[in-house]
Structure 1
Amino acid sequence: MPTPEPADSAEVRRALGTVRTSARLPLAFGGVVVGGSELRMSELVGTATNSLRGLVVAQGRGLGGQAIAARRPVSVTDYYASDSISHHFDHAVRTEGVRSAIAVPVIVRRSVRAVLYGAVREAVCFGDPAIDAVAQAARDLEQELAVRDEVERRLAQLTAPYRTAGMAADSASAERETIRRGHAELRSLGREITDAALRARIDAVTATLAGASPLPSPDGPAPSLSVRELDVLACVAAGQSNAEAAATLSIGAETVKSYLRSAMCKLDCHSRLQAVNAARRAGLLP
């Protein structure tokens, strides 16, 4: 599995904020899991102390370790009196005053990447709405991490040719087409991501790929195309038909045609190929 990064912890913290609001629980905490089996408690939301911060929770230990081992949500009504969990962390739990808690594992590609907790300072029996809310926050986090992993994988594929010295001249055309396909895919992924920071990073990478080697344009400053017009042109540049572009961008085929006509008008072109070439000359596409 990918080694947890600082970005994982930032995503966990955002998810914990959702846990507090959606599950209406005063305390939320958690952290990333290393090697699929060892939780590093680092993110605390709504806590009164730092007693939980820095705990290392191995698989099977405590409530979080049980969630990792069972790979499903687990909860306790009274942490101190429970005989269903180990009590390795009683001191830290008592110091914070936690009494009842829910722990939900975050599983990405079969590996536990994090654990989210929701808790209260009294003995309560959690109802389905609270458990479902914490579980939904975990599912949303799973999706965010999976998308980010895929983006990182594709970025690595795109940049790999430039880390290899002496690229053969006869493979340059094929590499360029690979870059164009990757550029179109990244633009499509960027529209699906809710994390503003990650989306901005993807946009910056696509802009770099597009403008890395712009051809001289005899037409002056590049025209201003909308995000969706560029998305459509990127798909066309990657060799996609209107129907394929529509599927890639999750929009209708007629909408694709509308964006394409608008882009062609702005670029003063009369065909798809002319529009793509004009956008490349302007440094808008790779």
Structure 2
Amino acid sequence: MAERQRWLAGLSDERRLSDKTVEAYERDTRQFLHFLTGHLSGPVRLSDIHSLRPGDLRGFLAARRKAGAGARTLGRGLAGLRSFLRHLEKKGLANAAGASAVRSPKQPKSLPKPLTDKDALTVVTHEALSEEPWIAARNAAVLTLLYGCGLRISEALDLTPSDFSGAPTALRIHGKGGKTRVVPLLAAAIDAVRAYEKLCPCHLVQDGPLFRGAKGGKLQAAIIQREMQRLRGALGLPDTATPHALRHSFATHLLAGGGDLRTIQELLGHASLSTTQVYTGVDSARLLEIYDRAHPRA
């Protein structure tokens, strides 16, 4: 369906959604059209989409739930379908009212699972498990950036040697949706990167990838995820101790140390403060301590 391809292109080019979000919306709408093919017993035409009823959408969600999709997946799928139908509605090809009438599945409340400050420090200072010194230094540098700067793993692996040229005090990070933020650079992170650069056998081009794989190409996230898995086993950490948990730990430990939510929001690159507010649930003990100390009636 040509209009679907135009909509997907607009998500990437005009709305600047992340590649993963666009891929998910493409998959969700493809599954919906496949469902409609069986539901209507024939190929799907624009006229079929124009006359969609809320029951058709609920039927799709029920089928996806039966196939094992969770509430988050279903909610994202419905959001993608609403966006697609609004695109068609603007062109006079469909009516998006039916999708608006369908209530999104109730999302489970889940809190980030950060490491304790002691465990996080152990991870980034533990002697790496690789027998190759340069690979051990590389892994240590990546993990230090995740915890020390609150980076997503993709953001760390997108860094270039030019980001560390001279005597840098901050990193300019290009995050989700093309948003750019500035993150202070800790001395420990600089030292870890310098140790890796000194040992790395690859020729590091200034605008090329900083972190390289064993064969010289750009380092893949799966390698760091496997390294973290090995560290979990060596240090007796829970399964929730993942590379992304180091980013959660960064935010939680800043909040525990007195950091304010607005600053943490900027450092993490969250578009909405409500996304950052989840960390207040992680450190409720700290908030109660502040309340008891600061509130006049406490």
Structure with the larger helix share: 2
- TM-score > 0.5, shorter chain as reference: no
Which structure is larger by alpha-carbon Rg, 1 or 2? 1
Give the TM-score of the pair, scaled to structure 2: 0.26
The TM-score with structure 1 as length reference comes to 0.27
Larger relative contact order (C-alpha < 8 A, sep ≥ 6)? 2
